[in-house]
Amino acid sequence: MQADIERIGARDASEDGSTPLTLGFIPLVDAAPLIVAKEKGFAAAEGLALALARETSWANIRDRVMLAHFDAAHMLGPMPIASTLGIGHVAVPMIAPFSLGLGGNAITLSPAVYEAMEAAGAELGAGPAAMGRAFAAVVARGREAGRGPLTLAVVHPFSGHNYELRYWLASSGIDPDRDVRIIVLPPPFMVDAVLERQIDGFCVGEPWNSLAVEAGAGVIVATKSALWRQGPEKVLGFRADFAERSPETLAALLRALSKAAAWAGHAANHAELSLILAAPAYLGTSARIIARALSGSLVRKSGSPPSLVPDFLVFHDHAANFPWQSHALWFYSQMVRWGQVPYAPGLADTARRVYRPDLYRAALAGTGIDLPRASAKVEGALKTATPVASRNGAMILGPDGFFDGRLFDPDEIEAYIASF
């Protein structure tokens, strides 16, 4: 029996003197920069022979980076932080010098729950606040009727999915630990779990929301980009010692990924990209479904016309690849908020330093890529596209607001946590 870890392209490695690198990935649309770096030759141009290893669980991704089976991997943004802080598992210091993109997730609820929300005034495509009110009404009605709490699934406890789902619920007046039940479920099982009524909804990355819609198993009620325009998602995670051992290799990889992310973010390439990602070795699903996430043109409900979601998934624009330390600190603030780790200034500082803008700047200094001067920013402060100081003078960052209008000032974490 053959296990189905696929070392895509492992045979090419180092035949021509290039540096072999093995990267792990989970079959999701936001793994695109890694796949493009290999398939479109950006890695080879930097002297790297990439081997991509498909994994089935985030725990495996993390363990295999820890054990140096992988040189780096497509990781959930909070994961290298949790690993460095030693929460949920053993402490192994990790770093994230590159963000693989912004957005890309969505919250999908079962058709039955959505119908009840419509009865409570929800309309397809409404904003997260209105959807949250309708969902809260459904939750309250269930409680009054003495029914057990609804069950929602996320992909991992230390994931943007967990935090954005909880953020939305809490903002809507729903206690995520008391009024609903949140469990972990692998993405490929979510559609069946909804159909079998084991769960009532989930927060997951693409293509799983669109696949659920396609199967008539769910209705997309909120996108990550609507909850937090420009919210951080996956990163490239390394063991911390990799940067000391092989700084040149790391820099070469970041340059390759930066070019790959730019290519992937270009609308003219989306048709080709959806075909690349659809291959059995990568996502193994329909290019037509993948294209929805790439274009941000989502079908929210089976049979409904597609609607355009601005900034649904951003690979490169708005400094999407820059590893803002304010992103690391926001993830840490949510870990504290939901009781996964205590607050301590030392822990916050450790979390902040997992994200490595210094390595990003060093790697991309010789390229034309513009680099922000600051390493952290007040998240949610930009209501419109705004120029910020950068190496080349000024660069434009897109609107980045949270849907509830809150600001996250990385210098005021304690006050931020206390404000909820």
Partner 1 sequence: MKDAPLHILLIDDDSVRASVIDEGLREAGHSRITVITDMRQLLRQIVEADPDVIFIDLENPNRDVLEQMFQVSRSVPKPVVMFVDQSDKASTEAAIDAGVSAYVVDGLRKERVKPILDMAISRFNAFHRLREELHRTRQALEDRKIIDKAKGILMKSRGISEEEAYALLRRTAMNESRRVADVARSLITAVRLLS
Report the nearest approach of partner 1 to the CB of residue 93 (Å): 12
Instruction: For partner 1, give the closer residue by CB, 193 or 291.
Output: 193
Residue 297: CB atoms within 10 A of its CB come to: 14
User: Which range, of 135-143, 154-162, 219-227, 315-323, touches partner 1 by CB under 8 A?
Assistant: 154-162
CB of 415 to partner 1, least distance (A): 23
Residue nearer to partner 1 on the CB measure, 67 or 215: 67
Task: Work out how close the CB of 190 gets to partner 1 at its nearest, in angstroms, rounded to a whole number.
Answer: 11
Nearest approach in angstroms of CB 155 to partner 1 is 7
CB of 57 to partner 1, least distance (A): 4
Please give the residues from 43 up to 72 whose contact with partner 1 meets the rule CB under 8 A.
56-60, 63, 66-67, 69
Q: Give the binding range for partner 1 (CB under 8 A) out of 83-91, 134-142, 254-262, 395-403.
A: 83-91
Q: How far is the CB of 104 from partner 1 (least distance, A)?
A: 18
Strand partners, 51: 22
Please report, as residue ranges, which positions from 169 to 208 form the binding site for partner 1 (by CB under 8 A): 183-189, 192-193, 196, 198
Q: How far is the CB of 188 from partner 1 (least distance, A)?
A: 6
Contacts of 2 (CB under 8 A, 6+ apart): none
Residues 65 and 319: beta-carbon distance below 8 Å: no
Cα 230 from Cα 240, distance rounded (Å): 26
Residues 6+ apart with CB under 8 A from 59: 156
Q: For residues 239-298, which are near partner 1 according to CB under 8 A?
A: none
| Closer Cβ to partner 1, 57 or 367, answer by number | 57
Nearest distance, CB of residue 34 and partner 1, angstroms = 19
Chain positions 88 to 107 lying near partner 1, rule: CB under 8 A, are 88-90, 92
Q: Indicate the residue among 61 and 298 with the shorter CB distance to partner 1.
A: 61
- Give the residue with the Cβ less far from partner 1, 155 or 277: 155
Nearer to partner 1, 59 or 374 (CB): 59
Number of residues that bind partner 1 (CB under 8 A): 32
**Taking a C-beta distance cutoff of 8 angstroms, is the pair 382, 400 a contact?**
yes
Question: Toward partner 1, which CB reaches closer, 81 or 138?
Answer: 81
Q: Which of 165, 177, 33, 52 is nearest to 108 (CA)?
A: 165
**38, 40, 74, 156: which one contacts partner 1 (CB under 8 A)?**
156
Using the minimum distance from each CB to partner 1, give the nearer residue, 6 or 370: 6
If the CB atoms of residues 9 and 88 are measured against partner 1, the closer one turns out to be 88
Choice from 23, 73, 117, 155 touching partner 1 (CB under 8 A): 155
Q: Does the footprint of partner 1 cover residue 344 (CB under 8 A)?
A: no
Nearer to partner 1, 125 or 149 (CB): 149
- Least distance (Å) between residue 41 CB and partner 1: 28
Query: Which window, 1-9, 229-237, 246-254, 278-286, contacts partner 1 (CB under 8 A)?
Result: 1-9
Report the interface residues with partner 1, using CB under 8 A: 1-5, 56-60, 63, 66-67, 69, 88-90, 92, 155-157, 183-189, 192-193, 196, 198
